[in-house]
Structure 1
Amino acid sequence: MARGQRRSTRTSAAAAGSKPKSPENSPLSTRSNTPDVTSGHPSVNDESLDCPACTPESREHNYRKESWIECDSCKTWYHWRCAGNGEDVNNIAKWYCQPCIGADQTRQITVKTPARKSSRKKTQRDYANLNSGLGSDPNRWMRLLEGKEIRDAPFKRMEGSEINLEWLEDDDEAMLAPIIIERPEGLGMKMPPKDFTVDDVADLIGESTPLEVIDVASQTTAQGWTLGKWADYFEMEPSKREKIFNVISLEVSGTKISDLVLPPKFVRDLDWVENFWPSTRKGSHMYPKVQLYCLMGVARAWTDWHIDFAGSSVYYHILQGSKVFYFIKPTTANLAAYERWSGSELQYQSWLGDLVDEVFKVVLTQGNTMIIPAGWIHAVYTPVDTLVFGGNFLHTYNVSTQIKVRNIEIATQVPKKFRFPMFSRLCWYVGDKYLRDLKAHSMGIFSPRILAGIQALADFLVSEARALEQGSEQVKKEVKDQIPVDRVKDGPAMARELRWRARLAAGSSSDDESSKDVTNIFPSNGAKRKRGQSEDFTTEAPFKNFKPKVWDALSKTSEEGERRKTTGPKPTEGEEWTERWLGDVDEGQDGEEASVQSRRDVVVKVRRTGKGLERQRIERVVEDWEWKEEAGRISE
């Protein structure tokens, strides 16, 4: 580019509007006298500098002020009077010298679009906030930090190539705490060039596009903003900004910017929207658009404590500038404190860090990427004007936290427009796909963490099924509208079968459970269960149109063990004795002598599968304990 940096379409920063970035980047780097340019009027006062286009006649003239331009290809600097065509140098957007154009005919000189007049009105004093007691000072958030105990975060710093599914499976702590990647190499990520500007955002999306802007002082939405107005504001000198604003919710999927941004491969491998939402349903943009955000914050901007919607995880790349994050771990106690604090008067008068166990601090700078796992509570400070690209994603490795955060959003009455869009519908799509996988491969294809996530998802879908069966008419309608009938024909049956299969795949021995109370456990008419009944799964799965695979062969053996004498605590009526017998009973325990007879039952089942065969071996040991004076029986 003509100046070694991207030009704004709003200033006179044309082809020669500033000094080259560094002598090393300029063809004049062997000289000590690089072009000395002034804002708006690029010039050089040393007539001894070489210009490849100069003629003997032009060198004889003594120009008091000289305009220069740099070729965007070979980076050679020229006098504009020698190489230009009479056009105002300040109007040039991209310029190439004649040798470079001759070498590649696709190179074309372009001019800038006319500068836009700012429509920004003079900001009025925020009397509404003053009268409500909120204040209009954006610095008040940072003053809350003064004197607080904040620890440097102990989070891992990793290479981009280390962030992959193998790491996630091998490390039990993976995706349970934020991680920092200092360089983007190895992440499989695509970002705009480093000289990309807020002005480019406005040009690519459209200056008239409405924009949600946050007033930092009150943490509320400011009205009447467009991208063009925001670009004008962002380019102001910081000292001239009468108020501090922030942009954190500009989603750019489907715009020209989306061609420049690609999330890290690790994120794409996990993302539910990427992997489970039908591609045929994305054409109309009717899908959760949360994968590509452009965040634009000016110096002194503050985003108060929050959890990303539905406990979604976040990838966050600093293209320009810097951010300071403050983190609170999502423990049960901390989430409870956040729930009490969120949406109450405490939110405007207190520091959430005083209500939790500890607060961590992370400073990110240009080129850094961070991945924030599900549920982490955080606040963000912007020390300098900053441009960030990032996105949100749900995944299967921490479903329980995602559901927990969603419940907090409901409890604190977060408006639906600020929640994860189409969350329930996405969960149905994910559940349907996992159920089909479990049907095709009954066991052994999912890791324990994945199975735990599927079970948590199934529990959520079963709760949605109960609401559909037992809720009010309004609730029933809301739940029904979220079930994707293109994939899920019977929501309640699908949810319960998914839970049953997920538990079975996790190793629960459901085959030993009785199925005699099936109709009471899962009433087909949606009636409430009797007190004391549970929704435990059974061998004869009570799912509509469900036909379990039969076993091709079954073998049962039983053998009696020898009677032996041992000691153990004898159960006494009225005493809480049962817990002592749930574990192994050591023969060395104190207690009265008893006679113990054991019996071992073994069941082996075999059936064909699509890949070969499945063989199940179930072993059960029953012990009969009998004391001399009176008998009692405990089975395990």
Structure 2
Amino acid sequence: MHTIQLLVSAFLVFLLGKYLPISTKSNNAYFNFKMFNIRQSTLTKLIETCDTVLKRLNSEKSKWKLTAACVPEADETAKQALITFSEQWEEIYTYFSQLRDTLKSNPTSEKIREKKARILSALESTEELLDTFIGQLRDSCESIGAAKRTLSGLEKSMEETKKEINELLERLNKLENVPVMMPIRVKQEIKQEVEEDLFVVFENIRQSHASNGQSSASNTGKGPDPSPMADLDHQPIELPARNREDKVHTTHLSYKDFVGQPSKIGSRPWISGFKDGEPVHMDKQKFCQTLEDGTDLFSVPTVPTLVKSMNGLSMKVPLNLGFPSLHEYLQSQEHADVTVIDSFKQKALSKKMKISEVINRFKTPAHERDICINILSNEESGSGTKFDKEFRPPRLVEESLEKRLERVLIRKKDRIEEELEDELITEEREEELTEQKKRIEQQMNTFPKYLKFVIVSMAGSFTNVHIDFSASSVFYHVFKGTKIFYLAQPTEENIKIYKEYETSVKTKKKWIVAAMENQWERLVIKAGMTAIIPSGFIHAVYTPEDSIVVGGNFLMENQIARQFELSRVEEKMWKNNMLDYGSLYKEFNNVMFSYTENILFEKLVNLHEIPVEDIEELKEQTLSMVKNLSKNVLVTWYSEEEQEQIIQKLKQLIPVEWVPVEEIPEEEAPADIPMAPENAENVAVDPEAVPEQDMTRTRLPRACKRTASTTHVPPKRRRR
């Protein structure tokens, strides 16, 4: 762990040395010279640490070859597997060497990401091979004592090496996104990063093998499973025959083909007609894309993306989740009932249903079912169920706005607790920190949980055209069955049609599918596949066979404007009783205020430290927030007075070159000298250094003027 701490320390200081000199605003030559010396010193230590890891890798790849030599020639499969493992470890060694060379050549964040991606991909490939062949390896080594001891020692050594490499990769990932701090804070930030819980790419090999062994043992030598649900997952769903040759389809969606009976969308007769006219001619890709696996998918794509294999997504899924085991994965004392939608009626049942009853309903033959179950709102985060414990979303979710905010809140809470332990703390400061800690804990206790939806649908279910709440992005993994999406792009015209359709109070209105007739594309997601749907894509979903799906919704920093736009539409519908409260992203406004206070403010205060290539994106985010952030009755994390303070402070911090002064009318008092921003405790300042006023960037003087002019009596706190 000491070496990893050293590695993180080196990288933080290295990044400081790399990016701070980009800004010429400080005009502090001594500081730049000092940072150059620090960087050179830490880079030397960093490369030495890389050499240590490379030595371990080199030793282990030799052990693979030794183990392969001990396996009898007759066991060709196991022998070949060991040779393959040796080659995989050789590949990891090569990529890690390339990372070391990159570190020696003044690396950029882009180069680090590229090398890290290669190491991750090679490690994941090794993990898959281990899962496939580990049982055979153990059997082969059973009769060879020396080889067995070698394998045991190798496994232990591998676990240590993988842990060390994964910690390195995680810290590299974090360092790319952590705002650069001033030198006086480096030591404190390093300590917080080292103590933070890390995301581990690999599961323990021994546990994985043990669970596989138990599963095999339970299904060996006992005959067929007497349970009536034993082979439910393997029963084909019989659908009405379709003579596709008799259908004459156009090159785009035909309204009659798609709709059937538009007055009864989703009803049993409507679905019956829809099956025969289901628009398979829409399969030609116009804007969607398909990937073989998730190896190169590190962030949310700009278009709907179908990932055929979950390899490379770093998503952990229960291996045997299915209809027979659904009760085992979803049942708990605190989480016993689920809300069920009858898709034939397109509305929720008045009474919740137990998981056991849901499973019994799926045993009924399709033609005898009185309702068409579609469970869409069953979210398992924090439920304590087996599924909650065993499922982990794909790694791209770590880049979401919520995950970034959650990490910042955790760091701030840790920092406050550390300062509260100081024996020299004043009573006034202690009260202030205690209040801050209380607020952070309140936010963390009510933080949004939308990443573990378990969607259970009967054949024939249809979810009408919609955009996911608050225009959130989506990942959607099919465990069993098939799902078919019909998607339209969020163009300005399509969004306009969608908003008018959703907010219209007319009882009879033209279905939106007809209004957007030429816009749709069909995306079929089969068992084992994962779809990533970016923010704002309009879609409907059809379920041709009984299905189990896991999905998650999350916000993205680069989609703030669209997320606000759709949230306001949903809030309008809620106020007009056109949408129930449970269909909203209930914490959306809370999250936006907290993101502004805890992340956006710090970026704007330290704007000169932001990489040049990220400035334009930050500008768009800030302008979207200035335009849309407003006091809202749905905000529970902040009082009305506190909301107003955050809004005003955001206006004070925005650079003049981004928004002209006349567009933010506010009386400004002159300031004689530049002053520190309100949260000056977040910036280290040399008390002996008096910076010259920078005439090329007027953000700081303007912010100071606004601060000086807003020393008025705050409004009274609103009653709650």
Q: How does 1:48-63 map to 2 (within 5 A)?
A: none
Residue 340 of structure 2 is matched in structure 1 by: 213
Residue 439 of structure 1 is matched in structure 2 by: 605
Q: How does 1:14-93 map to 2 (within 5 A)?
A: 72-73=215-216, 77-78=220-221, 90=226
Q: Judge which range, 452-461 or 426-435, deviates more.
A: 452-461
Structure 1 residue 339: deviation in Å? Answer: 2.2
Aligned residues: 407
Instruction: Choose the corresponding residue for 1:552, options 678, 688, 691.
Output: 691
Any conservation in 2 of the 1:190–1:264 contact (CA below 8 Å)? yes
Letter of the 1:303 partner, please give it: T
2:431 matches 1:270? no
Residues 343, 149 of structure 1: alpha-carbon distance in 2 compared, 3 angstrom cutoff: farther
Q: How does 1:411-490 map to 2 (within 5 A)?
A: 411-412=572-573, 413-432=578-597, 433-445=599-611, 446-461=614-629, 464=630, 468=631, 478=633, 481-484=635-638, 490=642
Q: Percent identity?
A: 19
Structure 1 residue 92: deviation in Å? Answer: 13
Residue 536 of structure 2 is matched in structure 1 by: 375
Q: Judge which range, 269-278 or 435-444, deviates more.
A: 269-278
Letter of the 1:431 partner, please give it: T
Structure 1 residue 420: deviation in Å? Answer: 0.1
Q: How does 1:313-392 map to 2 (within 5 A)?
A: 313-342=473-502, 344=504, 350-356=510-516, 357-392=518-553
Structure 1 residue 141: deviation in Å? Answer: 7.6
Structure 1 residue 262: deviation in Å? Answer: 1.0
Q: In 2, Cα distance between the equivalents of 1:605 and 1:453?
A: 19
Any conservation in 1 of the 2:452–2:550 contact (CA below 8 Å)? yes
Letter of the 1:438 partner, please give it: L
Residues 605, 410 of structure 1: alpha-carbon distance in 2 compared, 3 angstrom cutoff: closer
Residues 258, 332 of structure 1: alpha-carbon distance in 2 compared, 3 angstrom cutoff: same
Structure 1 residue 495: deviation in Å? Answer: 2.3
Q: In 2, Cα distance between the equivalents of 1:75 and 1:148?
A: 42
Structure 1 residue 153: deviation in Å? Answer: 3.2
| Consecutive unaligned residues in structure 1, runs of 5 or more | 1-24, 26-69, 81-87, 95-129, 166-173, 469-474, 523-537, 556-602, 609-636
Structure 1 residue 188: deviation in Å? Answer: 1.2
Secondary structure of the equivalent of 1:137?
A: helix
Q: Deviations over 1:550-574 (max 9, x none)?
A: 972258xxxxxxxxxxxxxxxxxxx
Q: How does 1:556-575 map to 2 (within 5 A)?
A: none
Instruction: Choose the corresponding residue for 1:156, options 289, 302, 314.
Output: 289
Letter of the 2:405 partner, please give it: N
Q: In 2, Cα distance between the equivalents of 1:492 and 1:339?
A: 29
Q: In 1, Cα distance between the equivalents of 2:674 and 2:580?
A: 39
Any conservation in 2 of the 1:184–1:367 contact (CA below 8 Å)? yes
Letter of the 1:160 partner, please give it: G
Q: Deviations over 1:313-350 (max 9, x none)?
A: 11110111110000111112112212232265778875
Any conservation in 1 of the 2:626–2:650 contact (CA below 8 Å)? yes
Secondary structure of the equivalent of 2:338?
A: coil
Structure 1 residue 72: deviation in Å? Answer: 4.1
Q: Judge which range, 441-450 or 184-193, deviates more.
A: 441-450
Residues 264, 215 of structure 1: alpha-carbon distance in 2 compared, 3 angstrom cutoff: same
Q: Deviations over 1:66-90 (max 9, x none)?
A: xxxx98446885377xxxxxxx984
Q: In 1, Cα distance between the equivalents of 2:305 and 2:503?
A: 29
Any conservation in 2 of the 1:291–1:392 contact (CA below 8 Å)? yes
Instruction: Choose the corresponding residue for 1:260, options 376, 384, 390.
Output: 390
Residues 339, 539 of structure 1: alpha-carbon distance in 2 compared, 3 angstrom cutoff: farther
Instruction: Choose the corresponding residue for 2:375, options 240, 247, 254.
Output: 247
Residues 542, 333 of structure 1: alpha-carbon distance in 2 compared, 3 angstrom cutoff: farther
Q: Deviations over 1:422-481 (max 9, x none)?
A: 1111111111122023213445343423431232123222xx1xxx5xxxxxx6xx26x5
Any conservation in 1 of the 2:342–2:373 contact (CA below 8 Å)? yes
Letter of the 1:253 partner, please give it: S
Instruction: Choose the corresponding residue for 1:226, options 354, 362, 372.
Output: 354
Q: In 1, Cα distance between the equivalents of 2:520 and 2:228?
A: 50
Structure 1 residue 386: deviation in Å? Answer: 0.8
Any conservation in 1 of the 2:229–2:324 contact (CA below 8 Å)? no
Q: Deviations over 1:365-398 (max 9, x none)?
A: 1111111111111100011111101110011011
Q: Deviations over 1:70-125 (max 9, x none)?
A: 98446885377xxxxxxx9848999xxxxxxxxxxxxxxxxxxxxxxxxxxxxxxx
Q: In 2, Cα distance between the equivalents of 1:187 and 1:606?
A: 44
Any conservation in 2 of the 1:269–1:275 contact (CA below 8 Å)? no
Letter of the 1:241 partner, please give it: R
Letter of the 2:391 partner, please give it: V
Q: In 2, Cα distance between the equivalents of 1:92 and 1:216?
A: 26
Letter of the 2:381 partner, please give it: S
Any conservation in 1 of the 2:442–2:637 contact (CA below 8 Å)? no
Q: In 1, Cα distance between the equivalents of 2:462 and 2:554?
A: 23
More strand as a share of residues: 1
Residues 509, 75 of structure 1: alpha-carbon distance in 2 compared, 3 angstrom cutoff: closer
Residue 137 of structure 1 is matched in structure 2 by: 269
Secondary structure of the equivalent of 2:377?
A: strand
Secondary structure of the equivalent of 2:478?
A: strand
Any conservation in 2 of the 1:496–1:543 contact (CA below 8 Å)? no
2:304 matches 1:178? yes
Q: In 2, Cα distance between the equivalents of 1:299 and 1:93?
A: 17
Q: Judge which range, 541-550 or 339-348, deviates more.
A: 541-550
Q: In 2, Cα distance between the equivalents of 1:144 and 1:345?
A: 32
Residues 353, 287 of structure 1: alpha-carbon distance in 2 compared, 3 angstrom cutoff: same
Residue 518 of structure 1 is matched in structure 2 by: 666
Larger radius of gyration: 1
Q: In 1, Cα distance between the equivalents of 2:225 and 2:606?
A: 67
Q: Judge which range, 325-334 or 544-553, deviates more.
A: 544-553
Q: Deviations over 1:196-230 (max 9, x none)?
A: 33643466424882221111122111222222211
Q: How does 1:498-537 map to 2 (within 5 A)?
A: 498-503=650-655, 508=658, 518-519=666-667
Letter of the 1:508 partner, please give it: W
Residues 494, 295 of structure 1: alpha-carbon distance in 2 compared, 3 angstrom cutoff: same
Secondary structure of the equivalent of 2:397?
A: helix
Any conservation in 2 of the 1:292–1:390 contact (CA below 8 Å)? yes
Any conservation in 1 of the 2:388–2:452 contact (CA below 8 Å)? yes
Residue 124 of structure 1 is matched in structure 2 by: none
Q: In 2, Cα distance between the equivalents of 1:607 and 1:79?
A: 75
RMSD: 4.5
Structure 1 residue 233: deviation in Å? Answer: 0.8
Q: In 2, Cα distance between the equivalents of 1:221 and 1:516?
A: 46
Any conservation in 1 of the 2:564–2:628 contact (CA below 8 Å)? yes
More helix as a share of residues: 2
Q: In 2, Cα distance between the equivalents of 1:244 and 1:348?
A: 25
Residues 198, 79 of structure 1: alpha-carbon distance in 2 compared, 3 angstrom cutoff: closer
2:449 matches 1:289? yes
Q: In 2, Cα distance between the equivalents of 1:334 and 1:415?
A: 24
